[in-house]
């Protein structure tokens, strides 16, 4: 009766991931050491972070190489190549600063030439290794970045267009590797103006860029990044821009774009290889970007792309200017490339209204080229939106000096508004039935959710049926500090069954309102097959489950719409264990975890959030053995449920409360 025992650690296949870093790319720096966001420490902190996580040992380390002129010349002019080749030589000492000052957002020094050649050559190197199948995927930690560098002009901190050079190299120089179609995903917060131009008429390269645009006021501040720019001639339809109208876009906005634009198009295009222009300046905390992608967000975005091109995917660093953000984001990405396991974690909040507007505009504009974009998105979907972004005045046209902190600060009033609106969104499907959403918008949700059964999986005091029934019928059992209100629907569970799961039971917190002093039970769904937790499954309705969620977390919370609806259920059941946080701001059981199915009915439990589990592991939150009254509930549950004898049950709790996490 055990589930999940097939997931032994041996069978977790490790993918081969190429990793390239070379300190020589740090030689490009401001001539007099003036501070600059695009500085050598960027790649150093990324490398240090990966080392601290013992990542390099798990990767195939690749050597940096200088690009050959003939390969750079595929996308840059002879003039430009000459300039970058010679700019660091002695003869240019007196002219270098003057040349740089005439360019847009460029500095140059004695190390610039070498770094630029290494960045471009390294992009070629990793891409070729992936194309040859020597590694499954690869990451190039390179600088200077590339996507702004035009055919005949350095700009935007970029000297050579590394990604464009690598893509051209495979297409033009290596036909035998059979890479005929390349998808470039540019998730740097800035529009990849130069990459767009270089493949403007080329249907072999699908260039996709999602960026802050703000109607042409955000860097590079032209109309080129607008969604109307779709390519030309044979390249028509092979250029896709998703231009944000405002700052502060985060996971939900990017996931929505992935789900409703990028993934369906990628499926149709069917690329042989994917190159990500992987800037991390849309990450939360970035001083230039003002967006809010979390490391979890990046890992989901990447994982979804790995389903295409046979997993052949290359990440080439572009921008990203907050050390901590870029290091954490890159680490999250490499871990996804390395590991063949589902991603845990959750993201909250809806996309902005502006995001739905942009998504619909893009879909409409490109629907003639990509049939999968043709359907109009249902209103029930696009109705789900976050309140408008708080307007933050821009100091300059590309708003470089803005928002650092402001973008993450949310006014107290807004917090209240959000409380009512944010909700898990990791996988909204176009095809999803409209009733799912309609149910949420009115008080019909109870009757809708009452038609859906789930197994509520209890591993703490609710193992004891009488205690669980307090949450259904209302009332109080011995040891409970106060009576429960019960559920609206007071029907008893339709079925009860027991199972053991390969997850870790532990006890944390020193006090709870329900039980007084002592720890309460939590499940760590990330732990391994050596663990064994007794769980009692109660077959109840999804409506009742919502009432349980409230009582477990925030007694008295008025639930005008469900905390966990059909959309949430759809999104959480994609893989197991998968979790979704509900929109409650407090409560220790607001993380719903999907544990698989029984009789084709999903099994859901609730535990603390992944970050709280981290807190228990790090010692930030206290582990604490359960008080005797609480432990007694569990023992009674196990004994009356005929799972264990009194002694065995006590030993079981004893073990769970003494083993460290
Ligand atoms: N007021 C990349 O992220 N800002 N480049 C110029 C002038 C330039 C960003 C500010 C931002 C370039 C690769
Ligand atoms: Zn950028």
pLDDT tens figures, 184-220: 999 999 999 999 999 999 999 999 999 999 999 999 9
The C-alpha atoms of residue 121 and residue 133 are separated, in whole angstroms, by 18
Q: What is the pLDDT of residues 227-253, one digit of tens each?
A: 999 999 999 999 999 999 999 999 989
Secondary structure E strands in 495-627: 496-501, 504-508, 511-512, 516-517, 520-524, 533-541, 578-581, 591-598, 601-607
| pLDDT at site 131 | 98
Q: Is 65 in the pocket of ligand 1 (CB under 6 A)?
A: no
Q: Is 148 in the pocket of ligand 1 (CB under 6 A)?
A: yes
Q: Which residues contact 341 (CB under 8 A, 6 or more apart)?
A: 12
Cα Rg of the chain, angstroms: 27
Q: Which of 43, 105, 154, 318 to mutate to test the pocket of ligand 1 (most atoms within 8 A of CB)?
A: 105
- The SS3 of residue 162 is helix
Find, among 298, 295, 290, 141, the residue nearest to 211 by Cα: 290
Full-model pTM: 0.65
Note whether 315 and 333 are within 8 A (CB).
yes
Q: What is the pLDDT of residues 556-586, one digit of tens each?
A: 788 888 999 988 898 888 788 888 989 888 8
Q: Residue 397 CA: which ligand 1 atom is closest?
A: 1
Q: Give residue 483 CA to ligand 2 midpoint distance, Å.
A: 55
- Helices 628-640, 465-473: axis angle to 10 degrees equals 100
Give the residue, by CA position, lying nearest to ligand 1 atom 2: 319
Q: Residue 105 CA: which ligand 1 atom is closest?
A: 6
103-112, 486-495, 553-562: which has the minimum mean pLDDT?
553-562
Q: Which of 104, 145, 156 to mutate to test the pocket of ligand 1 (most atoms within 8 A of CB)?
A: 156
Q: Is 319 in the pocket of ligand 1 (CB under 6 A)?
A: yes
| pLDDT at site 429 | 28
Q: What is the pLDDT of residues 589-612, one digit of tens each?
A: 999 999 999 888 999 999 999 989
Confidence check: pLDDT of 145 > 90: yes
Q: Give residue 62 CA to ligand 1 midpoint distance, Å.
A: 29
- Helices 542-553, 465-473: axis angle to 10 degrees equals 100
The C-alpha atoms of residue 405 and residue 140 are separated, in whole angstroms, by 30
């Amino acid at each position: 009766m055990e589930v999940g025992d097939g997931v032994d650690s041996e069978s977790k296949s490790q993918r081969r991931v190429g990793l390239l870093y070379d300190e020589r790319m740090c030689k490009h720096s401001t001539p007099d050491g003036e501070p600059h966001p695009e500085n050598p420490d960027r790649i150093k902190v990324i490398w240090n972070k990966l080392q601290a996580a013992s990542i390099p040992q798990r990767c195939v380390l690749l050597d940096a190489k200088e690009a050959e002129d003939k390969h750079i010349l595929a996308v840059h002019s002879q003039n430009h190549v000459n300039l970058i080749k010679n700019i660091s030589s002695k003869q240019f000492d007196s002219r270098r600063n003057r040349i740089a000052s005439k360019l847009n957002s460029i500095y140059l020094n004695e190390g610039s030439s070498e770094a630029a050649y290494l960045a471009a050559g390294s992009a070629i190197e990793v891409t070729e290794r992936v194309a040859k199948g020597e590694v499954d995927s690869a990451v190039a930690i390179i600088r200077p970045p590339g996507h702004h560098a035009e055919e005949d002009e350095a700009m935007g901190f970029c000297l050579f267009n590394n990604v464009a050079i690598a893509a051209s190299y495979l297409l033009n120089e290596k036909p035998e590797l059979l890479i005929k179609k390349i998808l470039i995903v540019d998730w740097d917060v800035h529009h990849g103006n130069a990459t767009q131009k270089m493949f403007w008429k080329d249907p072999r390269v699908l260039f996709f860029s999602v960026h802050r645009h703000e109607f042409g006021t955000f860097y590079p501040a032209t109309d080129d990044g607008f969604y109307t720019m779709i390519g030309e001639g044979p390249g028509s339809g092979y250029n896709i821009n998703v231009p944000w109208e405002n700052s502060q876009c985060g996971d939900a906005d990017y996931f929505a774009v992935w789900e409703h634009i990028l993934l369906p198009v990628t499926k149709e295009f069917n690329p042989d290889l994917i190159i990500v222009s992987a800037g991390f300046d849309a990450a939360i905390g970035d001083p230039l970007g003002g967006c809010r992608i979390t490391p979890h967000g990046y890992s989901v975005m990447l994982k979804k792309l790995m389903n295409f091109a046979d997993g052949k995917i290359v990440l080439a660093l572009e921008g990203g200017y907050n050390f901590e953000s870029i290091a954490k984001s890159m680490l999250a990405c490499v871990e996804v490339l390395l590991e063949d396991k589902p991603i845990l974690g959750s993201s909250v909040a809806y996309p902005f209204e502006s995001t739905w507007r942009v998504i619909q505009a893009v879909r409409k504009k490109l629907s003639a080229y990509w049939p999968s974009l043709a359907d109009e998105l249902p209103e029930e979907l696009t109705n789900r939106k976050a309140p408008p972004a708080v307007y933050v005045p821009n100091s300059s046209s590309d708003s470089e000096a803005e928002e650092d902190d402001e973008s993450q600060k949310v006014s107290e009033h807004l917090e209240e508004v959000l409380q009512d609106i944010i909700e898990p969104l990791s996988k909204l499907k176009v095809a999803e039935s409209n009733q799912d959403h309609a149910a949420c918008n009115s008080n019909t949700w109870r009757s809708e959710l009452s038609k859906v059964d789930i197994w509520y999986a209890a591993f703490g005091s609710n193992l004891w049926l009488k205690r669980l029934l307090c949450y259904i019928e209302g009332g109080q059992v011995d040891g409970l500090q106060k009576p429960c209100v019960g559920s609206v629907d007071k029907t008893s569970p339709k079925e009860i069954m027991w199972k053991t799961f390969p997850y870790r039971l532990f006890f944390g917190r020193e006090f709870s309102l329900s039980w007084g002093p002592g720890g309460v039970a939590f499940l760590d769904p990330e732990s391994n097959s050596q663990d064994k937790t007794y769980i009692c499954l109660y077959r109840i309705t999804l409506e009742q489950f919502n009432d349980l969620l409230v009582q477990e977390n925030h007694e008295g919370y008025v639930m005008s719409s469900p905390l966990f609806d059909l959309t949430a259920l759809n999104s959480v059941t994609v893989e197991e264990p998968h979790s979704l946080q509900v929109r409650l701001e407090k409560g220790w059981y607001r993380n719903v975890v999907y544990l698989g199915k029984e009789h084709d009915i999903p099994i859901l439990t609730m535990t603390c959030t992944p970050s709280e589990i981290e807190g228990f592991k790090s010692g930030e939150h206290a582990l604490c053995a359960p008080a005797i009254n609480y432990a007694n509930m569990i023992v009674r549950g196990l004994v009356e449920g005929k799972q264990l004898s009194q002694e065995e049950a006590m030993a079981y709790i004893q073990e769970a409360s003494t083993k460290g996490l």
